Amino acid sequence: MFKKIPAPAILNPTAGMAEGITELSRQKAVLKAGALQNAILNSENFSSIATDVKGVIQLFNVGAERMLGYTAAEMLNQRTPADISDPQEVIARAKTLSAELGTTITPGFEALVFKASRGIEDIYELTYFRKDGSRFPAIVSVTALRDAQDAIIGYLLIGTDNTTRKQIEAEQKKLNQRLRDQQFYTRSLIESNIDAIMTTNPFGIITDVNKQMETLTDCTRDELIGAPFKNYFTDPERAEASIKLVLSKKKVTNYELTVRTRDGKETVVSYNATTFYDRDRTLQGVFASARDVTERNRLDQVLKEKNAELEGAKSLAEKANLAKSNFLSGMSHELRSPLNAILGFTQLMDSGSPPPTPSQKAGIDQILQAGWYLLELINEILDLALIESGKLSLSLEPIKVSEVLLDCQAIIEPQVQKRGIRMHFPQFDNSYFANADRTRLKQVLTNLLSNAIKYNRTEGTVEVTCSTDIAAERIRISVQDTGEGLSPEKLAQLFQPFNRLGQEAGDEEGTGIGLVATKRLVELMGGAIGVESTVGVGSIFWIELNAAAAPQLVSDRAEPMTCVQNQAQHGVPLRTLLYIEDNVANMQLVEQLIARRPDLRLLSAGDGTRGIALAHIHQPEVILMDINLPDISGIQALKILREDPATAHIPVLAISANAMPLDIERGMKAGFFRYLTKPIKVSEFMDTLDLALEFAKTGSEDAINAGSV
């Protein structure tokens, strides 16, 4: 057996030595060769597998044990290297060698050592199987082992684990592919760009271009590369200057140049460029793009002309709108004056003594009916004109729906009793708040209720309901009647101005404007309006508004609200505040604040007229004024107070949900002492109130400013 041959004899370096070598030299050589052989065989970095001539393993070193997981005892005299090799690769190697060497080679161990057996150097790659079934690539070097007579006595297969190199090769392959993909991607981007793109070196010589540049200049890529950049423009000096500008500023944008082709065609381009560098930050040149702006320049000119026309049309429209507003205002005055006389004297005639005769009474009733209708028509036309002109001022704030519905119920009650209509309003278990203008919401609901009564059948019913959509954060108020209902054709015409849907010949008066104005108002408040109707059953008109949280005091300080309390000094009289506000919730909030000030007392008024009267009677130190009031605006009320010497000195604080800068500016110009926005901030409110009280005491704002510095 191979393993019985003394180790020095396996790789005997003394074979064929000259007879003159001394025995001592021979022994030293043998020992040295043996030491070298042992070092190789015991190396853990190489698998050394020696076989006999039939391929049965005779030596299995520690390196082979480490790589393959087998012990030498498991392999010696039992297996061949083919048993631990990938059989498919062994078959493929046998087939390849058979074709290469022109002989039939049997798959198996013969395929692994055939070249070595013919004295041919053989190093190949093979996949080894470990004991645990895992695989790894190996580089195998095969050598035939010979005896002193040069006869083959076995084979030595020295293998190294090729996994790391394979991984490196795979990674390198991936990197190379990525590089090729990136280059392709980059080139695709350049070629797909709608702009002509080029690169130049720092001296302005073209180094690369895309297809668009070829098209723009009518030159091939080969003609362009290596040529001076400036050669392709009508103004070469300006083109050359652009390169210098890029080099000095690193970037140039919207630099206009004119490209000229060899046949003289000129194209105006917008030139944009930047410098580019290699990874060592060494300047490589200029990257530039040129976009054809001929059409853009033409469109710019057209746009300028159109803008000029629009400005002219806008000016004319504004003048026409102003003329319309002036006309409507004048018409209102001119119509109201004679109408006032007509209605006034007609009412005197109606209530005169002796009373009018039956025929006179019938005529008077006709005059009064027509007069009141004409007045309603004038009011609704002016209201609609104000809405559509965009000049209607709305104060959107949290409004308690139940309070508005109760007000509307009181307003509409006389019509209900007159017509014998049964009206049902919701019983609110919860307090719903909608983001709306209180006055305009009341106008919208009153109009819907009035229509539900007016176009209902005798002794019919009107059902008012209120619901919330929590997900959409909306509140819906519905008004359902038991009238004749509307056909789909009439529903399509419902919100058209002056269209009464065939009711013109009926007994009920109307302008055909109310629903149009209602729709506009609801939409201005961020809501929606709709209708569902069935002929012979009735109609349901509904509006939806954005839900709102109940009004809250907003404290912008970290301290608790009790920090704003003051103690009245002994013997100091109470000072009076007047709050003119139609929103009950806001009134209650201010009452809570003033309750913390024992030195103050609060009076309240729900509209401007009543507030002005209370100001005359009580002469408050300070007036708090809402802007949007149900009768007159807060600005109008302020003007009346300022024009009266008895109230002109009282500082008036505006408290409004109109919080746009233009609203605040308009309020300050009107003469308010300060302009506060809702929701009320506690500290800001109390500080401003103290300033106003100090002003009422001293009559000088300079003293207040000096004291606050």
* pLDDT value of residue 481: 92
* pLDDT value of residue 52: 93
Q: How many CB atoms lie within 10 A of CB 218?
A: 14
* pLDDT value of residue 559: 37
Specify whether the CB–CB gap between 216 and 209 falls below 8 A. no
* pLDDT value of residue 301: 84
* pLDDT value of residue 560: 37
Concatenating the DSSP letter of every residue in 138-203 gives: EEEEEEEEE-TTS-EEEEEEEEEE-HHHHHHHHHHHHHHHHHHHHHHHHHHHHHH-SSEEEEE-TT
Helix (H, G, I), strand (E, B), or coil: what is residue 207? Answer: strand
* pLDDT value of residue 403: 85
* pLDDT value of residue 183: 73
Beta bridge partners of 144: 155
Burial readout 142-175 (b: 16 or more C-beta within 10 A, e: otherwise): bbbbeeeeeeebbbbbbbbbbeeeeeeeeeeeee
Identify whether 679 is preceded by a cis peptide bond (ω within 30 of 0): yes
CA distance 473 to 434: 10
Domains defined for the chain, CATH in brackets:
2-161 (3.30.450.20), 193-292 (3.30.450.20), 298-388 (1.10.287.130), 397-546 (3.30.565.10), 561-708 (3.40.50.2300)
* pLDDT value of residue 558: 38
For the chain, which ranges sit under pLDDT 70?
1-41, 43-44, 321-341, 343-345, 348, 373, 375-393, 428-430, 497-512, 552-572, 659, 679, 700-709
* pLDDT value of residue 329: 52
* pLDDT value of residue 709: 35
* pLDDT value of residue 140: 93
Q: 16 Cβ partners below 8 Å, 6+ apart? A: none
Q: What is the token pair recorded at 409?
A: 């119920």
Residue with tokens 């000049």: 391
Q: Residue type for 367, please?
A: I
Q: 521 Cβ partners below 8 Å, 6+ apart? A: 387, 440, 443, 444
* pLDDT value of residue 206: 92
